[in-house]
Structures are given as C-alpha cells and as structure tokens.
Structure 1
Amino acid sequence: MKKPLILFYPKNLPLLSKNELEVLDLLMDAGKLIAPLYLEQEKQAELEINKGELERAAKKNPAILDPHTVVEKVNGKIVVTPYHIKYAKLLKPVADKLIEASKLTKNKDFGNILKLQAKALTSGAYEEEAVAWLKIKKPYILDTFIGPIEHFGGQLLFGKASYQAWVGVLDKEGTDRLNNYKSVILSVRRKATLPDERVDNQDQVKARVLDVVLFSGFMARAKFVGLHLPTDVSLVEKYGSELILFNQPNDLRIKEQIIPTFNKIFSKEFKEGFEAEDIRRGYLRAVALHELAHSYLYYKHAARNLADLFPVIEELAATILGLRLAGTLLLKDRINNKQLESMIVTFLCRSFYHKGNADSSSPLKNYALGGNIFINFIVQNGALKISGGQVVPNFMKIFVSLHELSDSLEYLLEKGSYKDAQNFIKKYS
C-alpha cells in the first residue's frame, strides 16, 4: 500500500525568516509522523463489525459513535478506546515536535495553537484546539493542522475522524482574492423555510489560501483542494467556521483527473475554446464556491435525519449551490461568462472522472455518487447530451437546472427523511 505522504515543492514562496524556516522544518517532521499512524487506522477499518450490532451497542454505550474512538471486537465483545489512548505511542513523538516548534516560533498566537494541537493529540481535548483556531483574527505566514478531523468519507461509520496533516505557507494574494469572493457570496441572504433549522454564520467565516509543502495521512489519500471546518454544527453556531484552499493539490488534481478527462470527453472544437489556465482557475474557483456554499448549509438535524446518506447530499448540495451562487459574481462583474463556464466544465470533468473510476472503498466515494447524480439530473433535463463517448453541454440549460437541483438537495437537508434521500439517490444515480 502506498505511503500516505505527499511532499510538494511550491514555487515563488514568500521569503521566510530563519526562525520561520526552522519552525517549518519541525512542522514537516511532525506531519510526516502522521503517515504511519493513518496506516494503522486503515488497517483498523478493515476489521468489519456488523453495522446493526454497532447501532444496538451504541444505545448502551454512546462512545461507540464518538468520532475520536476506535471500535474493536475483543473476545466477542465490542471494545471502545479513545484515539489518544489507542495510539499513544505513535502520538507522543508528533506532540513532542509540535511542542518544540511552539517554543521556537516568535509568533505567540501560532505558538499557542501548536501547544493546543499537541495537547489535543495526547489528551483528546480537540474542541479547545478547534475553538482557538476559529478565534485567531489574522492568519500567520505559516499554517498547519496535525490531528484527527471528522470527514464524511468515514471508515467505520461516516462520523469517525481520520488522522491527517497539512503544512503550508500563506498565499496572501490568493487569500485576498478568496476574501473578495467571500464578501460578495456571503452578502446574499438566503431564506430558509424553517429558519430555526439552519445555522447562519456568514458573518463569522474566515478564509485563507495556502501553498502546501506537505500532505500526510488522510489528506494524502484524499488530496483535498479545499476544506470548510468544523463539521460540528454546534461549534459553528458558537464560533463560526473557516475555509482553506490548497494551491498545489489543485494543480495535482488538474493534472491527474481534470485535464485527462477534459481531453477525453469533449470534442476538439469545444476544447479549443478553453486554455489550460481557464481550466486550472475554473476548478479552483469552483472549489472556493463549494466551500463558501457550506456556510449556507449548516442544518442542525440533517446529519441525524439522513444518517449515512447525509455526506452524499450535503457535499453535492454545496457544489451545486456554489455554482448557482457564481451567478452573483457574474452580476457583480467579478467573473465573466467564460469563467463561469470553466467552473461548470471542470465539475463535469470531475464527475465523469469519478464515473469512470468508481471504487466503493475510496474515501471520496460520496463525491463520486454525487457527481453521478449531477450528470444524470442534467441529462434528464436536456442540459447535457452524451453521444459517441463525447459530452455536449448546454450552459444555459445547465445553469437553470442548477436551481432546481439545488432546491431539491436543500429540501432534503432542511426537512427530508432518510427515505426521501434514498428515493432521490435511486432516481438519479
């Protein structure tokens, strides 16, 4: 199995001081140590336990559903162990590196974050660290996260957290551009049918763009281009949220997935209308709007109501709403028609890539199912034609279809049942 570690070598990084370079080296050392820890999690995920048995046991022992516990079967009995105890030996050297970096850095706030990361790894005090990140007013030149995060890719149940690390350097120009988009997108006040069901935190969203030097653990497997954290709605309601975009993983995804699919599914004449830079920036914009759209989709009971189908619906809803909100940028002259079309083209490429590389064990299987739903929905609406292996999009019809699909998905998040989600997925997948 390939080691879950990716080292990037960004060009044109800002000039770092001697102290910042020394801290960066320590953070990279700490991040690399997450790779073997995540491999242990992958091995653990292979030990299957009957889902029905787990659900019955969880009624007596809620710790089974805690995102930061390992669930095993020992001598016929279900045993639950907190992460910081189960992986204590592997976590100590990571925490030691973080403590060393916290003492070395000249930035007091960043040093405090590193101490809290180390504390979270060894004590399980994850919320304290998450809140500290959300309270930072101004991003530092260095950026890292090392620890477990709950992603909707899941291992045992979709709520289990995966160990991961990223280490990067702030892209100030990209961050300014992202915050410019944010000011427009999050100024749109969208009404909810049941306003008490949704957490509106648009005034408490922080955003930054990073040049990445390291991905480790789950981040190296998933190669995320963007994240919106935290996933815990109660934390979002109290403290807000943050979104992060990663430049180098975007370039990697363009190279590995988007461009090959673009060349495969579109005609020569269609491809001549788009430059490589249109595709690169189009995908990064689409991811940015996807992450911004999450700010409108924090429904308090959606995860409970939709259970294991929640990640499929929620992630697709964010993508579709993001593309829909791009219309606001168009009206404000922040993007042009070509740039909007580039975003749609790259999501089509991403969706067709997953369609041709389906893997039920992939950590991104929920995104793949969502992409398949999108393709089938717009085909049924006459917005996309597939003939002879080539795809012919009608951008006007696609944009109209986005509104209908977005409304359907948000209905499911707001007040849909598990059965509603099942029927919707069955209809379009």
Structure 2
Amino acid sequence: MTPNWLARLAIVLALAAAVFPLAAAGLRGSLLLILVGFAGVAVALAAAWWFLARRGLVRWLAAVVLVAAPVAVAVMYLRAHLLWVVVVTVVLWSAALAAGRAALVAPIKPHEYETPPPRHPFLIMNPRSGGGKVERFHLADRARALGADVALLNGPTDVVALARRALDSGADLLGVAGGDGTQALVAGVAAERGVPFMVISAGTRNHFALDLGLDRQDPATCLDALTDGVEVRVDLGRIGDRTFVNNASFGAYAAVVKSPAYRDDKAGTTLDLLPDLLAEEGGAHLRVRVGDIELAGPQAVLVSNNPYDADDIAGLGRRPRLDRGVLGVLAVKVRGAMDATRLVRGLRSKVLTITTVDRVVVEADTPLVPVGIDGEAVSLPTPVSCTIQRAALRVRVPRHRPGVPPPRPSVDWARLGRLALPAGR
C-alpha cells in the first residue's frame, strides 16, 4: 500500500475510533468511559511515581496499586457492559497509529563506497563481552582463517595503545568484537589515522551495531566485511579528549552507570538509586548550555552521536541515521509527581527538552562530574564540552546485512492530512 493510501486509512481509522464509543455506548456510557478511564490513568501514574521515588514497603504497595488500578477499571467497564467498547476502540486507535507511522516512514540507506578488502586487518576481541560470544561463535578462529591478526583481551588493557601499535606495524583496518565502550576508543584511533573500522556485534546490547544495520544475533556474519564489504561514513561524538559512538550521559543515568553493581544487575541498581536521584540528594547540580539555551538543574542529560527516535527518552533504542552531523540532546527536569506524570504521558513542556546542536557544554558546582560514556563510568573535570565530528569514521560493513530498521516516527496528523490529499501524490 502506498504512503498516500496508508495516510487515508490512518485518518479513517482515527475517525472511527473517535465516533465508535459515542455510537456504541451512547452519551451517558461514553462519559462513564472517559471518567473511569481518566481516574484509572491518574491513579496508575501516581503509583508509578511512588514506585520509582520510594523504597521498601511504600514501593511495593505502589506496585500493587499500579497493577490493581487498570484491573479495577476493567472490572467497572465489565460490570457496565462497556468493556467490549474499550477493546474495539483501542484496536481502532492502534491500527490508526500503525498505519500513520507506516505512511510517514522513509527508507534509510546510507551511501556506500566501494573499497578494496583490507590486506592486514587487526581485530581486538574481548572474550568476556556478551556472555562469551567470542568463544561461542568461534570468532577468533574464523577471523584468523580470513587473514586477520587477532588480539584477545585477557585482562585490563590499554586498547588505544594496542590499536596504535598495530597501525604502526602495518595494519590497514581496525576492528573490535566487544562492548560499545571499547568500540568507541578504537574507533577514535581509526578516525585519527584515517583507516577503516569494523564492528563485530559481540557485546551485550550492541547499540552501535544496531544503528549500523549489522546482524546482532550472529556476530560471525560481521566478518563477511573482510572479504565482501563496503564502507559507510558516520559521525563521531567527542567529549573532552575521548570519542563516543553512542552517547554521553550526565546526572541520574551517569550516577547509575557509576555504581559497582550496575554491570551485574542493571535494572535492580537503577531502581535502588532512583529515589535519591529524583529527590536530588547528593550529586552535582548541572547547568547545560545548548546553543542559545541554558538549562539549570536538569536531573538527567543525554548527549548522543546523532539523535535517537523522538519517543526514546532513555537513549536505549535506535538512531535512524549516524550521518546528520549533529548531536542529539535530551534533558529531563522532574520537580515532583506532576512533572513525572507529564513525562510519563510524553508531554514536553519544561520537563523534557529535546534538540539537536553541534556543541554542548555541561557545567556543575563540583570540580569533577560523573559521566557515562557509551556505558563506561568516568569522572571528567568541568566544564565538559561535547562536539560532533562529521563523517569522521570510515566503517567497513558486510555488503549483505539486515540493514537499519525503519524509524518509528510520532504520528503527525497534519502531515498525514496533506499526504492523504490527491496533491500528496
């Protein structure tokens, strides 16, 4: 189906979702739906805030309320014989949003450059990354069979010095099978010396590999780039004298990353630290300069190498492009339950600031500020400057790869209306 017809379908389904409750339940029934629904949402959002911002018994009581609120609403709808109306309305709205997003998605394919295969590739592999993917997929043996020189990390290693020594010895490509933090350090060396860089998706989450369109399920397919590959040019973020391929985070997220327990239990560590972070107990008071904008006191700041999807406020999803030449900036300032409610509902206002720039300066009222750089916790002297290096990195990727997933855009109904008109063709 063409984008024009998808836009028309989205509008028709949205109208049906708006009209159906009135037609099926009548005015009185519709008012009941609205009132009970709003009450359930308000209680659930309040419970979510208490769950995140408190510990102990209060947290678990809030968890019970968070689960019970929607169940209670469903029971009330059922007793009023209106549950089927809600189900049908939700299905119509979901279908309308799906059709609208499909109509607005534009295919993304970075420009590819034909270059000869490397003669002396040098690959750095961390056997501990991703739960032992290097050994599980026999990556070192496969790479050596393709003519690569492989260095296995068996303990704390200066990967920057290792990469530079390899280039001095004649390597003409650098690659990493490991976490994004190691990828970023070696990518900085490759960009500095102008040689191609290769990503092998052997980390835990492989965010950079995802945004390059690589296969994250089978990291061995990334080795195809050695024999049948092409090059793409992507941007690099820089923070102080370091590079980052994904993001640099300050405030709440950086404090979570800094915790010694974070690597073993990310979710549990985050829940344990959130109450103090949301209450602004301890930690640095941040000031952020983004172009002509100055933000005072945000609790969390995420600076990314190109922006994430608009609905991804945690920087844990994907970036549709890595070659726009801009930093994505996301800052969160929550001052209480009302602000938390706005954040959960996706209302920007003063709670959430999202923009793109080419330079960000983060200041603090402490001489050092914790920063999470591609998931690695460090402390940097303030002020901290973040910049973007356009098309700084040559990345060699397999010619045949899954590709970058299409973005999940927010639904712009005005744009859909223009697309649905005959002139939209």
Q: Same fold (TM over 0.5)?
A: no
Greater per-residue helix proportion: 1
**Larger RCO: 1 or 2 (CA < 8 Å, sep 6+):** 2
More strand by share: 2
TM-score range, shorter chain: under 0.3
Normalised to the residue count of structure 1, the TM-score between the two structures is: 0.25
TM (norm. structure 2) is 0.25
| Larger Cα-atom Rg | 2
